[in-house]
Structure formats: C-alpha cells, structure tokens
Structure 1
Amino acid sequence: MMFRPIRGTHDLFGLEIEKYNIVISEISKIAKIYNFNEIETPIFESTNLFSKPLGVQSDVVLKEMYTFLDKNNDSLTLRPEYTTPMIRAAISNNLLNSLPCKVFGIGPMFRRERPQKGRYRQFNQINFENFGSNDSFADIELILIAKQIIETLLPKNNCTLHINSLGDKETLKIYKKELSNYLRKFEK
C-alpha cells in the first residue's frame, strides 16, 4: 500500500489548509463586491470540450490532459483549465440570456506536467469571466479585482501589477516582425 501522495500532488492540512480557506474566503468576498456570481463545474468533462476549442495540436491536448474512458467508452478529461467549462456551464444553463454574465470559480485543475518546485499536477485555479461585455470597462474591472486581491492577501508586500498586451492579430504580426528584426542582430 502506498502512503505518499502521487507525484505532482500534495496534501493540505493544518496551517496550510487554514491559509487556503482564508484566501478562498477573501477572493469570494471581493467577487461579490463586483457582482460576480460563483459557479462550480464538474471536475471532469467530455474530452471533446477541451480538444475542440484548444485545437487538437495544442500542448495541453497532446501532452498534458488526464483523459480516460468510462464504462460506456466515453472519453472524459479531468479539467485542465477553468475557462472552457465555465463557458459550457453558462451556455448549458442559459446564463447568457441575460448579459453581461459575470461569474467566477475556484477549484482544482489537473495537468500532466513534469512536477517541479511550485508546479503540481493538481492545482487550484481562480477564474473570473465577464461574458457579453465588449467595452474596456470589463477589462478595467478585472484588473481592479486582481489589484484588490493582491492588496488584501499581501497587504505589507510592495507588489507591482504589470499589465501586458500583444494587442490584436495585426499588432501581433507587427510585433513578431519587429522582434525578429531585433533578434537577427544577435545571430552568429
């Protein structure tokens, strides 16, 4: 009999679980302030849910998903990320009939990554989604939520929030070209 957790996983207990519960509680309070409703999705979903949106050739699909066949020979996958199941839940529960739809979720995710310090095969993810809002205020609100979470959980640390964007597809093409031109200077 094995008495250790599977490689890439760990047990939470004592002070560690107390801290975890405080983090979850504080994030939930902040989400409510911004009128985000909590949503919880199943830990496993149909494999097609993840392979279609992510593209069958993505690293997550090819290498990192925990996939298995159930007794009916249906392919199921432990959720590797939260956005896709949240979209599925919003659609299947008709939450998108009243937009904007602001939801958040907290829960375990599973990826078959090479375990290393600070990276686990089972990990918890916090996810905020604002469906149906196309203006920049939704982005600003998510940035404010991130800022408030950091300030609440790490009040005495001098944290700086850095924001990056590659822009749209056209901007990304220009960026790639400029980066390639810059890096050519260092070719031997």
Structure 2
Amino acid sequence: MEIKGSAVRTIPEFVKTRFPEKYDEWFSLLPPPSRAIFSGFIKPSDWYNLYDAAVMPTEAISKIAFGGDLNKASWECGRFSAEATLKGMYRFFLMAVPSRTVVTSGGRILTTFYKPVQFKVAESGAGHVKIHVTQVDDRSGMVENRIAGWIEKALEIQGLKAARVDISQSLAKGDPVVEISIIWS
C-alpha cells in the first residue's frame, strides 16, 4: 500500500507545528528507511511505501506525544492533514456543498492520498452515513484512524461542529472492512 507525498509531507509538519521541541526526538526514533524519506525532499506527487512513510513515523509520534497511543496519534495527524491539504479548490468545494455530499464525496478526495483504497457509502440517511473503506493493507489501525480524523476535521472546516465520527468496524480489531460512521446535525 502507498501514500501520496502530499500526505507524507504533513507528518513532519505536524510534529514541527504541534511538538516543535520534540522534533529531533521524533526523527531519532525513525528506522533507517523512514529517516531516508524525511531526510530528503518529499515530492508531493510521488507515491511512498505506507509503512516507511506513514506507519512508522506516526508510531514514533505516538511515543513522543501520545503515550504510545497510535490510534490517537493517527487521528490527530489526520485532522492536521485535512487542515493542511484542504486549501484552494478543495476548501471551496467543502464550503459550497451540503454535508451529505462532503461525506459521500470525500472518498474521492481521499483516494488521491492512498492506493489502492476503495470507498463506498454503505448506508446513508438524514444526518448520518456509514462508509466502508476496503483494500486497506494496514492492520495497525493507523490508516483508518488517520482517515476518520481527516473526515472529522473536513466537516469542522465546513462548519459542522456537532459532527461525530466513529470507527464502527476496524481491520485492527479483526473486522472484514473499515467502517466509519458519521453523524451530524
């Protein structure tokens, strides 16, 4: 599985912004393949190995800032990534369409950051949606938490402060798919 460089770039930006005094400690915890990625220029349009470019760096973030809680670190990285990447036309899109459209179309935006990944609306009603994410090759929970955090922040950017985003099925917990439940008013 791979992650787009534009998403990878948000990981060191997150550390520098939220925990600037811990950046060197974070970098020192990276294994050599991850360190090589973050030592060079990360091309926004290139694809990188998910494990080396995101899972291991996020695990290091969890150790320096979240008491080893990879899920919390991943969720917060996803929120930061939404803030960093939803600019220009993407932000205009968020502000111009109804919440249901943001949630059901958000998968198309997220497929530009991960491959292979498929998003499908499994259930949709007034004020709620369940999304299934498939073809995710990550049993650590990092990808699903990062995506859920991203969705939560995207809805906040749109102006929905009362949105609730939960992972109702998880590959990390042995479920067959990732299911993200979103409720808003």
Structure having the higher helix fraction is 2
Asked which structure has the greater CA Rg, the reply is: 1
TM-score by length of 2: 0.24
